[in-house]
Structure 1
Amino acid sequence: MHTVNIGSIAVGGKNPIALIAGPCVIEGAERTLKIGRAVKEITGRLGIPYIFKASFDKANRSSYQSFRGPGLEAGLSILADIKKELGVPVLSDIHCVNQIEPAARTLDVLQIPAFLCRQTDLVYKAACTGKVINVKKGQFLAPQDMKNVVDKIREAGNERILLTERGVSFGYNNLVVDMRSLPIMRSFGYPVVFDATHSVQIPGGAGTASSGKREFIPYLTRAAVAAGVDALFMEVHDNPEEALSDGPNMIYLDKLEDLLKDVLEIDRIARKHR
């Protein structure tokens, strides 16, 4: 099992579980920093390694009219400020090849969205930066198919790989999580992440936007940690009802700490078997 170092954080092996968390999209510098600061305070109290996430551009929104974020240049500037202010690594999505180079100058982790996980040029050229690459498993892929994605990254000479489970399509507008996918993907030798919030999403469920069932986040989170994941991915917000993207499947900030306390207890047991 490869251990992936992200700044001072070691993910994988028998290292304690890490958290990747933040709002879905950058909604403005002040509010985004506020959420990140609150998560850092919580993880600091609990001793959980923390990586901040927020998207500078949501290129895969259901509707053309949906809020996408501040864009590449302004978004990376905000993320650079957050990185400096909080002193934590930062992660964001990239959607096209021309975003890779500027994003790599700021980000510690380049994330390949689930819909784009088979885009060879995007995956390979992102890997060529030497940055940590987090690939979300497509909703249309079996877990064993992610081995081909791993091989594309390794072709670039990059072993800094994270693989993220975020549910698989089950009929129309519904996702389910096959917990078998977690050990299957981990068997490739790289850390596995569970996306606890997108896994309860209902893509396109609100017509021109996605819906979701956040009440199931704690159940799936506890199950995934028991299955032995190396990190959790969670989108959090101080008031998801006001969120400009993915509000129905984001966790309330004031519910996060209690859930993470459960996570730590389960992880201590699961880590013995990783």
Structure 2
Amino acid sequence: MLKVNQLKNQNSGNFFLIAGPCVVEGREMALEIAEKVKAITDRLEIPYIFKASYRKANRTKLNSFTGIGDELALSILKEVGETFSLPTITDIHESDEAALAAQYVDILQIPAFLCRQTELLVAAAQTGKAVNVKKGQFMHGSGMGFAVEKINAVNPDVQVMLTDRGNSFGYSDIVVDYRNIVEMQTFNVPVVMDCTHSLQQPNQSSGVTGGNPAMIETIAKAAIAVGADGIFIETHMNPSVAKSDGANMLALAQLEGLLEKLVRIQEVVKKNS
């Protein structure tokens, strides 16, 4: 079971949800998304973690939007958590960010392309906060056990999660291999399927990452059927104007219907397991 402060609906038996905008664009949008998703997940009894990056470090172009300022964005994340009694999660990219971000959020997230960075994993573990490590697009699930080992060696009490976001073979596309979920669950940690980033189409000639949001429901349904512990979805009121990753985000208006379907699928899975 996932052990994170303020996480509600844990006794429902449902998968947990990590959801929110790709990046903190402003206070009002963050609070509005959190409020609406919380209302949906409370009704469906889905444990919910609010997600938003306080800064984006992995942009394709030098002039791409990276954030509204570290301290401001982190303070908004803290306000979201306190206002709605929700656990919050954000990415860190360098070791010295861990201690700073840990003052504001409940979970530190390690981006996929940094999942082998020992100093970053150690710094995250030293904060005592829960750590979500995204599986590198260049790795099979079985290799992620070493990330878990690194964190546990520093602090065995830290809650570790692993998240799959597909595998890249070049050609500006990503493929999901659901064996990775099963492989990573052998490390006795909660395993999450990132249903939006796994549909990215990176490194487009335009310099803006593309995506295929029409397939989000397909990825999510399959993940629940396989037995994923959690679902990761980036969502926005209007993805077409989002300042980061809008091409592969789910419109907020579509989230409730999708989650209803996923809850029903999980009920069937549990009956037949």
Same fold (TM over 0.5): yes
Interval of TM-score (by shorter of Structure 1 and Structure 2) = over 0.9
Partner of 1:185: 184
- Contact 1:67/1:244 (<8 A) preserved: yes
**Residue 39 (structure 2) aligns with:** 41
1:114 Cα shift?
0.5
User: Which residue of the other structure, out of 70, 73, 78, is the alignment partner of 1:72?
Assistant: 70
- The residue number in structure 2 matching 1:109 is 107
Do 1:5 and 1:11's aligned partners in 2 also have CA atoms closer than 8 Å?
A: no
**What secondary structure is seen at the aligned counterpart in 1 of 2:148?**
helix
How far apart are 1:15 and its partner, in Å?
Answer: 3.8
Instruction: Report SS of the residue matched to 1:233.
Output: strand
Shift of 1:46: 1.2
**TM-score where L is the length of structure 1:** 0.95
SS for the counterpart of 2:81 is helix
> Structure 2 CA distance, aligned partners of 1:124 and 1:131?
12
User: Which consecutive residues of structure 1, in runs of 5 or more, have no partner in the other structure?
Assistant: none
Q: CA RMSD in A?
A: 1.8
Alpha-carbon displacement from aligned partner over 1:220-255 (angstroms, at most 9, x marks no partner): 100000000111110000100010000010001111
CA gap of 1:269–1:12, structure 2 versus 1, over 3 A, is farther
How far apart, in 1, do the equivalents of 2:185 and 2:53 lie?
26
Give the stretch that moved more between structures: 54-63 or 204-213.
204-213
Mapping for residues 162-201 of structure 1, pairs under 5 Å: 162-201=161-200
Partner of 2:58: 60
Shift of 1:12: 9.2
Report the CA distance between 1:51 and its aligned residue: 0.5
Contact 1:4 1:10 in 2 (8 A): no
Q: What CA deviation, in whole Å up to 9, does each residue of 1:44-70 have, x standing for no partner?
A: 121111110000100001111000112
Equivalent pair of 1:94/1:111 in contact (CA under 8 Å) = yes
Matched position secondary structure for 2:103: helix
Q: Alignment length, in residue pairs?
A: 272
Q: Is the 8 A contact 1:11 1:230 kept in 2?
A: no
Higher relative contact order (CA 8 A, sep 6+): 1
Aligned to 1:203: 202
State the secondary structure of the residue aligned to 2:3.
strand
Distance in structure 1 (CA, Å) of the matches to 2:102 and 2:269:
33
Counterpart amino acid of residue 27 in structure 1? E
In structure 2, distance between residues paired with 1:171 and 1:112: 22
Partner of 1:21: 19
Is the CA contact 2:211–2:248 (under 8 Å) kept in the aligned structure 1?
yes
Task: State which of 108, 125, 128 in structure 1 corresponds to 2:126.
Answer: 128
For 1:90, the aligned partner's letter is: T
Which structure 2 segments of 5+ residues have no match? none
1:68-122 deviation per Cα after TM superposition (whole angstroms, max 9, x unaligned): 1123211111111111111100000011111111111111100000111111000
Paired residue secondary structure (1:65): coil
Partners of 1:43 and 1:206 in 2: how far apart?
Answer: 38
Higher alpha-carbon deviation: 111-120 or 78-87: 78-87
| 1:90 alignment partner, one of 88, 91, 113 | 88
Contact 2:202–2:210 (Cα < 8 Å) also in 1: yes
Residues 96, 123 of structure 2: 8 Å contact kept: no
Q: Is the 8 A contact 1:226 1:270 kept in 2?
A: yes
Aligned match of 1:264? 263
CA distance in 2, matches of 1:145, 1:71: 35
